[in-house]
A and B are shown apart, each in its own frame.
Chain A
Amino acid sequence: QVQLVQSGAEVKKPGASVKVSCKASGYTFTSYGISWVRQAPGQGLEWMGWISAYNGNTNYAQKLQGRVTMTTDTSTSTAYMELRSLRSDDTAVYYCAISTGGSDAFDIWGQGTMVTVSS
C-alpha cells in the first residue's frame, strides 16, 4: 500500500540546521508532488511548501523562504526537507504528505518527525 515513512526525532541547538527525510513506497515516486506540513506543540497545521517529485520544482511558504530547502532523490524514492537557522519556534512535528486521488487533498501522510530546538 502507499506509505510515507519519515526519519526519527531530532534535537538541535538554535542556529543549527535539520534535514528530515520521507521515504515513499507503494507507488511510482515521480507521480505525486510532496508537501511538508508542520505543527508546533498544541498548535494547528502549517503548510511549509511543496516539491514536484517529477521535476524538482518547488513552492515554499513565504515566511520560510530563504531558510527551507526541499529536495528529492528519485533513486531511493525519498524526499527531504532541510530547515536552517533554527529557532525555538521551529520546534514542531514535521509531516510529509501527498495527494494521490486527484482532488488536491492530502490523503496520505507520513507519521511525523519531532524536531526540538533547544539550547
Chain B
Amino acid sequence: SYELTQPLSVSVALGQTARITCGGNNIGSKNVHWYQQKPGQAPVLVIYRDSNRPSGIPERFSGSNSGNTATLTISRAQAGDEADYYCQVWDSSPVVFGGGTKLTVL
C-alpha cells in the first residue's frame, strides 16, 4: 500500500519560514492535500491539489509537489500556526494520510 512520510516535528522562529515535507513514491504524479489540526479540533484544509488555498486561508500558506516530495510552506510564521499538519493523497487504498508533523513556533 502507498505510504506518506512526514517528519515528526518541525520548529520555526516567529516570523520565519517553515517547510513541512511529505515523501512518497512518485508523489509528484498525485494531487496532495494538506490539513492543519489544532488540539481538540477537527482538521482544517489549508492546501488542496498541491498548491491551491481554500477561501479564508492566508496567503502565507503555500504548497508545491514534485518528484518524491511535496512541501507545505508557511511564511512569516505566527504563534497561531502552531499545530499538527497532515498531508493526504487518494491512491488505491484509496485515501492515505501522512503520519503528521507537529509545528512548533519558537
By a beta-carbon cutoff of 8 Å, the part of chain A in contact with chain B is: 35, 37, 44-47, 50, 59, 61-62, 95, 97, 101, 103-107, 109-112
Complex: chain B residue closest to A111, CB-CB: B42
By a beta-carbon cutoff of 8 Å, the part of chain B in contact with chain A is: 31, 33, 35, 37, 42-45, 48-49, 52, 54, 86, 88, 90, 93-100
Contact A107/B54 with A44-B86, A95-B42, A112-B42 known, Cβ cut-off 8 Å: yes
What DSSP secondary structure best describes chain A's contact surface? loop
**Interface-central residue, A50, A97, A101, A105, by most chain B CB under 10 Å:** A105
Give the complex CA separation of A111 and B43 in angstroms.
9
What DSSP secondary structure best describes chain B's contact surface? strand
CB distance from B52 to the nearest CB of A (A): 7
A-B contact pairs, 6 of them (CB 8 A): A45-B100, A95-B42, A101-B48, A101-B54, A104-B31, A109-B42
